[in-house]
Structure 1
Amino acid sequence: MKITRKSSAVAAAQLVWSASMVLAASAQAGMVTDNHGNVGYDTAAECDAAVAAGNAKFYEPFTHQPPLKRAGEVDVKVMKLGQLAGYEKGACDLGVGRRDNRDGVGRALIGKYVPYGPNMSVNVYFDAAGTPVRATMQQCDNNFKGDLPRPVGSQVAAASSECYANVLTPAKFENKTEQVLKVPATKRFEPVAATFKTVSEEVVISPAITKQIPIPATYKTVTEQVLVRPESFREEPVPPTYKTVTEQVLVKPEGKRIEVIPGTFKRVSEQVMVSPERKELKVIPATYADKEDTVVDRPATTRVETVPATYKTVSEQVLAKAESLRYEPIALPLKTIKEEVLRSEASAKLQASRSSVKTVTEQVVVKAESKRLIQVPAVYDTVTERIKVADASKEWKRGRAWIGKAIDVRPLRGFVVGKDGKVDGASVDLQGATADNTRLDDDVMCLVEVPEQYQTISRQVLRTPATVREEIIPAEYGTVTRQVMNQEAAASEQEIPATYQTITRQVIDIEKLKAAGYKFDDKGDIVAAPNGDRVLRAGALMGAGAKSAGAESGTEGYVREIKIPAEYKTVSRQVVDQPASVRTIEVPGTTKVVKTRVVATPARTEEIVIPAVYKTVEREVVDQAPSTREIKIPAVYKTVERRVVDTPASTRKIPVPAVYETVKRRVIDTPASFREEVIPAITKTITRQVIDQPASLREVEVPAQYETLTYQVKVAEGKTEQRAVLCETNATPTKITEIQRALKAAGFEPGPLNGVLRAQTMRAVNQYQQSKGLPVDGFLNLETVKSLGVSPN
């Protein structure tokens, strides 16, 4: 299968390829080999010369990947590279890395020109029009530099001043200083001894007691009104009233329909250029003579080696767990106390037998049965139609990216657009034609096919018209509940004797705690355990806000405070002992004797002008493009009558008066009581020593201790990247002298201005790069050359 392309750019490139044949003798000078034996060349001319000489080793893939389509690609076919027009001799393409989910070439060949044989199988991707838009290596689906590889002998799209080098950028480190906690802040507790004082107090030998003498209650007869039936209400239902109303009901809503107005066409005649005016050159060949010259085979250069960083291991003590406190509950001894107390006094009560009522539930109509009209909306279907809005046409587009789809290709220079905005009857992408012309890979205009354009429109079609249906609303009932008399009220008197109860409660055994060695404060609270540990109330520890009782009340527990010392652990870590650095090694240059043929008599040409040829053609063009218009469909309404509630059903309350009855009963005139006689207490005075101030712990703050550590932190990983450098073909003595003068003018000493790139000149370059924040990579990169104000060409 042959795929042809009319590309004047490829034809012109063949002239450049034939001129590059003179470089075949030095084709091996800049060759590199990857781990799989594949080779690459520094320049495209070297790669082309090796292919022409027949000693190029063509690239062989070593991985396997299936084809992977991208957006706009509908088909993929396997072909030989030589079957593509212009690739009969193969390709010399610039190696690239991974992109779009697929690899390129090996790391060593990135930035080098790699030869691909015409018998290499490739995946060719096609768009919907069947035009090939991209090619990849068939076995691994790996990428070329562009959508299609560079054919052998074609012009290199990159500027002649740009060569690339793989530059190793070492890892970057920064010094960081921080305060490290050496010893954390702590607290220490110093014991404060208790102080004592002598007190005299009266001790009760026999406490005062109160003797209660009962006084019986007296009674009297009273007459009173007793409520037999309370005041109430009874509810009577009030039926609803109705009225007839007339209203407008929407039968069919307002809609729209879209009407298509077809386009019109007309025939036009126009002049089409069959062949443009051109000039032919008659070549009178030159005469040559042999000449021997001693030339620099490889100039003196420098080589950069990276000295890796060294590390050392340091150990340090770090706080694993800070000092803390643990609270442990104390099991307190308890003792049981029993006492008998009066629960209720003797009395009499009038037992009233209340009237009883019963509840009657009955159904009443709240809302009578009625009818309502329910609107059923219309149902529409959405119909989608595809309408052609533009016929297929041709358009001039700028850029080499369109060459694969081009019918005709013309240089941008001299490309003149007519007053009607067309060239040879085809419209021009004006935005592309006025683009920036500084890019050498975007310098042609391509005539491409623009396919027919369609527009998809959606419109609604009525499937079921709107209707109205009648629905019966059932009657609504309410449940009315009312009470009626079931049994009348009565009353009787009943004696209630006094009641007593025995209360048993547990209290803390203070004497047993004191005997065990626990310490108490003046309020009777426990403050220290026998071993000296601090004792706290559990409620105070938990932050309880309620006022707690004393220790004797037994309403609150106690906890013992236990100190848990801090824990430390030894941590070892690696720090930079000596950071990574870069050293430069001088590589001396070499020379060789070459025999060249020089022009004795230069070739000359005679120019012959061949006029352009035109022909008249007729074609049909769109006079008026198809369009659509929107027509409104008015809504349809219907007048209906329906019966609605005028006054809803309700209930009314009718009051029912209360019923009373006069009864006589015996009530307490003077309630039973007690008369108290006080028997005074018997006391005696004793003298004893008590704690004036209990023993305690004084808390002393111990400040933290810090240590300043300085260490290096890696802020950027070392990496290898491709960087544009000054090509050897442009690094002439004149250009080097120009760079040396620019360095000297900038205040950096490059050594003698002799046009030779020596170590002193490179040191000045490195110093200039550091001062300007430019990459310091051991190369004369283009960014530095342009910053010095020197043209790289």
Structure 2
Amino acid sequence: MLNKSYASAAILSLLIPVSQAADTDRVDATDTLPDAKPGECYSKVIVPAVFETVTEEVLVKPETSTVEIIPATFDVQEKEVLVKEAYTKLVAVPAVYRTETEEVEVSPARNEWVTRLDRRGIPASPALLAAAKTNGVDLDVAQPNQCFSEFYIPAKFETTEKEVLVKEEAEQITVAEAQYEQTEETVMVKASTKDKVLTEAEYEVIEEQVMVEPAKAVWKKGTGPITRIDNSTGDIMCLVQIPAKYKTIKKTVLKSAAAIQEVEVPAESIVVPVSRLVSDSTADRTTLPAEFSKVEVTNKVADAAFIWRNAEVAGEGTATGNTICLKEIPAVFTSVKKQVIDTPATVREEKVPAEYKTVQVKNVSAEAEEKRTIIPAVFDTVEREEKKSSERLEWRRVLCETNMTRDTNKKIQQVLKDAGYYNGPIDGSIGRGTLASVEKYQKDNDLPTGGLTIQMLEKMGIM
């Protein structure tokens, strides 16, 4: 059974219909049988196509350029702008007064007849004085401090008002300020220039498929109706077409190039408020009248009447008990303060200088420029497989019933198990599990498939 199982595996390639082989690019090199030696076995095997991995640079972003705008530069200068004209200002200097004190007589000095010369004396009555005068007492020639006995009739007085100057007439000066009208003046602070505006380039990302592995045909085990060679095999080989493999890459392509536009930048101005003189300062003079104060003045309007006798002269008759004495009463004065102009009011002229404002004016010293920088293209390295030789169908020396031993089979199973391809028992029986492991090992090592080739045994180190 061991040899029959292997024999069926060795001739699997012969079971493939000729119509399937014709649909691939496989090269059939089995027209001539190999020159075999006695005891050697050959089988038609599939020698895999040979591929070489090549790298290719793919453009993912074309060469571009960046544009840097160097702005214009300006020279800054200062300019004096008149904001208020010079004018003459009138300043009123008020009058300067000095205070003087004046003694005003409010009661004149007089001689008054009294009943006594001491403090207890009272004014004599007019009747007494009249009686005294009627009785030969010459009151007009009486001497001060001279006393007479009298029947007294007091004198009559009346109080009148008298105007006293307390502030002389003066002049008042009222100054009217200068009048202005507010206007505005436009001052250019930055001259017009030309600026350059950059419109950035626009890009879009597109996807492109790059073939990394071409289409190929491989032989795989399958199931289905087959032409049997003997009763020990039922396996078939199917030729499967594997499509080409592609890798999708993203590429950035230029949609619209960068552009420079020249823009006119207008001049810049500012509005400065200006005060313009409409009318100059003026002075208005007004006369202030003198000021007076009223004081009361007492004047005698009627004398007293007495019947008099000289007190030192003895006379007839009975004294009335009334005594009159001519008492000297000094005048009464009051102090009145009045303001007298010391320095008259005047007008002083003051020159007010014009007012200026310093503004900064910008003048173009260098126009705006553009600076371009080239950004190199970007490439991506893509690996793809390129076929160097097609798959071939050849006669190769294999193990067969005449040269296969159980010990060799165990060695094959052990190598496959050590390499991780086989997990069955090491019993020297080549069954389906061993053959499947053999085929996977052959494909992974780019060895011919379709039998236990001597080339595989040499790779395993068995022969």
Larger radius of gyration: 2
TM over 0.5: no
With a CA cutoff of 8 Å and minimum separation of 6, indicate the structure with the bigger relative contact order.
2
Q: Normalised by the size of structure 2, how large is the TM-score?
A: 0.29
| TM-score, scaled relative to structure 1 | 0.19
